[in-house]
A and B are shown apart, each in its own frame.
Chain A
């Protein structure tokens, strides 16, 4: 299963969500499908995409938040799973693309390559709904169910360790950040 096929399968479902991604191949692939103002790409601070999603979810309880995480990032901040589970925001979907690799620095294997089970860790941390998916169809149906439903969920998607050749896009980090905040402000203005 390729991550870009997973992203393509749920691209239209992400339209009404606020999306936070990790750095590297994932945001480059998502941008190749088409950047949107509701996408924020955290191009460093590995591990904090899920914490950012929690801050958004607690601040905007009626807005669906989707975090697109990775195994390398999540392994750097496993405590985030216990914090997510402690507050269980109903509007947060935590998707982890697990390619068992630190792809952007040369493909070094992560601990999921030697048996660490991120879904098991999420479940044991207290995340109420978890699953692991291995096909695009299973991924798309699990992600769609989570996005349209209610309740905190961690979906681990096992994907191949391949990605685009280049990770830098022409979207500036600050441009992305200010556009994302403006977009949220415009949503708030509309709902008033």
Chain B
């Protein structure tokens, strides 16, 4: 599977460096290595969800408890989590660090991913969620740290879009 193991490790190390100790996730192809690394790490609690919206509650509970968390999801999972993001994270000022695999963008071969790709950025903008891209290994560490810092200082959801350039090797 041409998902980049090296860049998955890089992302994971950056999350750990921010103090992330709870990760909620729903598997998708680009996230397989990240989820496996988290599963094998005794210092991190990995919570495998049935639906991504649960992750908003998980992260809120962790935040109340003083534990730093992040959410791993596909952009279709972000779509599935929108009500929770608006009516919990926005309403109650909950910091969320959302790592979203940006499927359905340039280079996408799977027809079923393409509509989600079209609406991901417009929805993030409509929801007033600050977002940036993880698109090069050289900037992963800094950008994850910056996203985490902004989420914690602004007490709001912040999104990082995981791009094909970073996650896929072929």
Contacts and interface: CB of A to CB of B under 8 A. Distances in A.
B64 interface: yes
* A contact patch SS: helix
Contacts of A86: 48
Interface string A39-62: 010111101111111111111100
Contact of A173 (B22, B49, B65, B91): B91
Interface residues of A, number: 36
Contact of A44 (B51, B59, B87, B93): B87
Contacts of A180: 64
Contacts of B66: 59, 181, 184-185, 188
Interface in A60-104: 60, 77, 79-80, 82-83, 86-87
A59 B61 contact: yes
Given A45-B88, A52-B60, A59-B22, A177 B50 contact: no
Contacts of B84: 45, 48
17 contacts: A20-B61, A42-B92, A45-B57, A45-B87, A48-B53, A48-B57, A48-B84, A51-B54, A51-B57, A52-B60, A52-B64, A55-B59, A55-B61, A59-B66, A80-B50, A174-B93, A185-B66
Interface of A: 18, 20, 40, 42-45, 47-60, 77, 79-80, 82-83, 86-87, 173-174, 177, 180-181, 184-185, 188
Interface of B: 22, 45, 47-51, 53-67, 69, 83-84, 87-88, 91-93
